Structure 1
Amino acid sequence: MKTVSALLDILRLTEHSETQFSGESADVGSPNVFGGQVLAQAINAACRTITNQRVLHSMHAYFLEAGRLDVLIVYNVSIVRDGGSFSVRRVTAEQNGVTIFILSASFHKKEEGYNHQIDMPSNIKQPEELLSWTDMLNQFGDAIPSRTKAFIQVERPIEFKPVEVVNPFNKEDLPSFTNVWFKLMGDVSNLDLPSKQQILTYISDYNILAAAMNRHASKAHWGNTQTASLDHSMWFFRDFDFDDWMLYAIESPNTSNARGFARGNIFTRSGKLIASVTQEGLMRPKK
Structure 2
Amino acid sequence: MTTDPIATTLAALDLVADPADPDQFTGPSLPRPNGRVFGGQVIAQSLLAAGRTVPEGRLPHSMHGYFLRAGDDREPITFAVERLRDGRSFTARRTHALQGGVPILSMIASFQEEQPGLDYDEPMPRGVPGPEELTSAFELFAQVDHPVAKFWVDEVAFDLRHVGPPIYLRPDPHHERELGGRQMIWMRSRGPLPDDPMLHRAMLAFACDQVMLEPILRRSGRSWSTPGLSIASLDHAMWWHRDVRVDEWLLYVQSTPNAHGGRGLGAARVFRQDGSLVASIAQEGMVRVPLD
TM-score (norm 2): 0.89
Runs of 4+ in 1 over 6 A off after TM superposition: none
Asked whether the 8 Å contact 1:3–1:184 carries over to 2, the reply is: no
1:57-96 superposed matches below 5 A: 57-96=61-100
State how far apart, in whole Å, the 1-side matches of 2:136 and 2:224 are: 23
The one of 141, 144, 152 equivalent to 1:141 is 144
Spell out, residue by residue over 1:31-64, the C-alpha distance to the aligned partner (whole angstroms, 9 max, x if none): 3110000000000100000124222100000000
Aligned residues: 282
Which secondary structure does the structure 1 equivalent of 2:141 belong to? helix
Which ranges in structure 1 are unaligned for 5 or more consecutive residues? Answer: none
Number of the residue aligned with 2:155: 155
Q: CA deviation at 1:203?
A: 0.5
Asked whether the 8 Å contact 1:213–1:221 carries over to 2, the reply is: no
Which secondary structure does the structure 1 equivalent of 2:71 belong to? coil
Number of the residue aligned with 1:5: 7
Asked whether the 8 Å contact 1:77–1:90 carries over to 2, the reply is: yes
Spell out, residue by residue over 1:133-173, the C-alpha distance to the aligned partner (whole angstroms, 9 max, x if none): 111123x426xxx5863553442221111112246445854
State how far apart, in whole Å, the 2-side matches of 1:75 and 1:161 are: 33
Which ranges in structure 2 are unaligned for 5 or more consecutive residues? Answer: none
The one of 257, 261, 264 equivalent to 2:265 is 261
Which secondary structure does the structure 1 equivalent of 2:93 belong to? strand
Asked whether the 8 Å contact 2:212–2:267 carries over to 1, the reply is: yes
The farther-off stretch of 26-35 and 252-261 is 26-35
% identical aligned pairs? 32
Distance 1:231 1:101, change over 3 A: same
Distance 1:218 1:208, change over 3 A: closer
State how far apart, in whole Å, the 2-side matches of 1:182 and 1:232 are: 19
Spell out, residue by residue over 1:232-256, the C-alpha distance to the aligned partner (whole angstroms, 9 max, x if none): 0100111133453111111111111
Number of the residue aligned with 1:100: 104
Which secondary structure does the structure 1 equivalent of 2:128 belong to? coil
State how far apart, in whole Å, the 2-side matches of 1:141 and 1:218 are: 19
Number of the residue aligned with 1:181: 186
Distance 1:268 1:30, change over 3 A: farther
The farther-off stretch of 171-180 and 95-104 is 171-180
Root-mean-square deviation (Å): 2.2
State how far apart, in whole Å, the 2-side matches of 1:194 and 1:218 are: 36
State how far apart, in whole Å, the 2-side matches of 1:226 and 1:213 are: 11
Asked whether the 8 Å contact 1:147–1:223 carries over to 2, the reply is: no
State how far apart, in whole Å, the 2-side matches of 1:219 and 1:153 are: 19
Aligned residue identity for 2:16: T
Aligned residue identity for 1:85: S
Q: Does 1:122 align with 2:132?
A: no
Q: CA deviation at 1:21?
A: 0.5
Q: CA deviation at 1:109?
A: 2.0
State how far apart, in whole Å, the 1-side matches of 2:27 and 2:172 are: 41
Spell out, residue by residue over 1:54-110, the C-alpha distance to the aligned partner (whole angstroms, 9 max, x if none): 221000000000000111111100001111221100001110111111000001122
Number of the residue aligned with 2:49: 45
